[in-house]
Amino acid sequence: MFNQLLGDHIKTLFILFLTLHFFSAYAQENASEFFPRQSLFPKLYADGTAQQFSLSKDLLTRRFIGAIGGLQRIIQFRFYEYPIQTSLGATVYATLYRKADVVEVHTACFFVDLFFDIQFSENFILRTGYGHYSAHLVDDGVDKLQIKAINYAKDYIPLITAYRMGNPGLWLYGGFRFDTYTIPEKNKRWNLQFGIEGADFLLSENIKLYGAVDFKFKSEASWGSTQSYQIGLKFFESFSNSLRFAYTYRTGLDDRGQFYKAHVKLSTLGLYFDF
């Protein structure tokens, strides 16, 4: 089973890199910028499955949520008059519990994404692309939770728009994700996502206060929702880079695929490294 999962991840990465190579060849013949410093699309701060590098602690339990990864902007070029930014992301999310002298790792979720962000106007951006997600119980999870793991995986195409409102840092976004491949719910392929973030309030030269709200609805769980509310501080923001310290309240469906029909309530404090 592990070899099959590894093979699926390798195939996904191969497809993503082939696509990226095609756009690299196109960009070399047009005005382009490699590794642009500024992201066209908002970060989706409150999204519990966004590509990121972070560590957060649930204030109500001993649960830690660790995310190792991020989203790297690769190329920005123009197709006719429209700027297009290509980015590649990979993140592993792990659920950890601190018990006496040991740290137990219960779940691991793998995300790989290739995004194309198309800027139709100064304030209107469209994101699409291709992604893969799989969720697993690891050894401590099988042993401690005494439950049977399920095969949970998705290949998907997102289509999300973002609109920048009057405040330069305030974004409204929304759209859907269609799962081209999905198990175990093979015929429930649609997901909706909406949110708002930003309204940066300058506290000092290098510190900003911000807020974010994110809602996700999943057909695989009878259109149940995951609701996330975040307030935090940004430190030393430069272009799309910053260090964030934030409180998040999350309620509704569990983001972890192994528990996709379960409901949770989390109150977390986290440290986030944006790049």
Structural domains of the chain, ranges and CATH numbers in brackets: 2-274 (2.40.160.40)
CA distance linking residue 158 with residue 193, whole number of Å = 10
The burial class, CB within 10 Å (0-12 / 13-18 / 19+), for 267 is: middle
pLDDT average, residue stretch 10-39? 66
3 state DSSP class of 246: strand
Give the pLDDT confidence of 154-163 residue by residue, as tens digits. 999 999 999 9
Which of the four pLDDT bands, split at 50, 70 and 90, describes residue 11? low
pTM > 0.85: yes
Are 214 and 253 a contacting pair, CB within 8 Å? Answer: no
Query: Is the model's pLDDT at 2 over the cut of 50?
Result: no
Residue 12, pLDDT > 90, answer no
Query: Minimal CA–CA distance to 212: which of 156, 162, 265, 157?
Result: 162
Judge contact between 111 and 88, C-beta under 8 A. Answer: no
Residues 30-54 have pLDDT tens digits of 568 999 999 999 999 999 999 999 9
